[in-house]
Amino acid sequence: MLPRKVLSIVLLAGALSACSPQSPSSPLGSIPATAAGAGTPAVGIASATAQLGARIYNGNCVPCHQQNGAGIPGVYPGMAGSPVIVGDPAALALWVIKGQRPASMPAGRYSTQMLQFGWLKPADAAALFSFLRSNFGNSAPPVDADTVAKVLGP
Ligand code: HEC
């Protein structure tokens, strides 16, 4: 009886590991599974822009604002319902890219500081902002690259 059990465990393990090489070709591409698992709307049907936005968020914002966008209470703000995110895209762009404090965000709430993301190109920033505005329970219209480019100027 025992050898049979061992055999079936080996077969099961083989079947499980056989799944992993297939994931890169899934429609989710390189989006980490956690992005889809964080209570966000289906990224599977999302466009390349949405995937780009998720990638930029995961690569740059997660250390402070966390994978699920909840932040760390008293230390880093959450992304859900942030007036900066769902409000005027110009204020959002100036904050994230230039560190210019939006009117809707009073100073002194946090003793920690945010980094500036001056290297974000308008298309990347637009994808990131659109991601923020349509995830974490937010639902504001997407932002396009032209809008960001106009805000930042030449
Ligand atoms: C080093 C930690 C850190 C990183 C990394 C970081 N942030 Fe922040 N973020 C903060 C802090 C701290 C604040 C609050 C600043 C304040 O109130 O002065 C903040 C505030 C914000 C707000 C306004 C939230 C509100 O309460 O309305 C947005 C939007 C935001 N961050 C977006 C981003 C995005 C997008 C990225 C990634 C590109 C990012 N942050 C990366 C620390 C960080």
Task: Count Cβ atoms below 10 Å from residue 92 Cβ, excluding itself.
Answer: 26
With 0.85 as the threshold, say if the pTM is over it.
Answer: no
Rounded CA gap, 9 and 4, in Å? 9
How far is residue 60 from each of residues 1, 63, 106, 116, measured CA to CA in Å? 53, 7, 23, 11
Q: What's the CATH number for 31-152? A: 1.10.760.10
Unique residue bearing structure tokens 């070709």 = 25
Q: Where are the chain's structural domains? A: 31-152
Q: Which mean pLDDT values do the consecutive 10-residue runs of the chain (154 residues) have?
A: 47 41 41 46 66 97 98 97 97 97 94 96 97 97 97 89
Q: What is the pLDDT of residue 41?
A: 52
- Residues 1 and 18 sit within 8 Å (Cβ to Cβ): no
- Best residue among 56, 60, 65, 134 to mutate for probing ligand 1's pocket (most ligand atoms within 8 Å of CB) is 65
- Residues 96 and 125 sit within 8 Å (Cβ to Cβ): yes
* Ligand 1 midpoint to CA 56 (Å): 14
